[in-house]
Amino acid sequence: QVHLVESGGGLVQPGSSLRLSCAASGLSFSSGAVGWFRQAPGKEREFVAAIRYNSVTYYGDSVKGRFTISRDKAKLTSTLQMNTLEPEDTGVYYCVADPRIILSSLFEARRWSYWGQGTQVTVSA
């Protein structure tokens, strides 16, 4: 049984920072990738970031330079450090994982096998 649990969401002001964490169980980080998607109300899920088993990272264009993804293989956790947050960053953030996902599939939500329940991030003055 694979379980992903996000934490760290909340309400913050524009320009501030927030750190999200994802605790995983039932899998390892030795293959595939872990990552993050987000979804605003009424919108499609958007790729945010991913890190593959080889430690190579990938970011969506809207967050590149502001967000950083990392992972701890021993603790089976992944972290999304979000800086210089904007109102457009508001949404539910989902932790995702897949030990079999390939590079070309990272950016498509439907290709990821395991999803967390989501954590709300609201950026507002």
pLDDT digits (tens, 9 = 90+) for 10-40: 999 999 999 999 999 988 888 999 999 999 9
Do strands 57-59 and 46-52 pair parallel, antiparallel, or not at all (unpaired)?
antiparallel
CA distance 96 to 50: 9
> Residue 52: pLDDT above 90?
yes
* Token digits of residue 50: 């991913």
pLDDT digits (tens, 9 = 90+) for 74-109: 888 999 999 999 999 999 999 999 999 999 999 999
pLDDT of residue 53: 92
pLDDT digits (tens, 9 = 90+) for 1-11: 899 999 999 99
* Token digits of residue 25: 């169980």
pLDDT of residue 74: 84
pLDDT of residue 70: 96
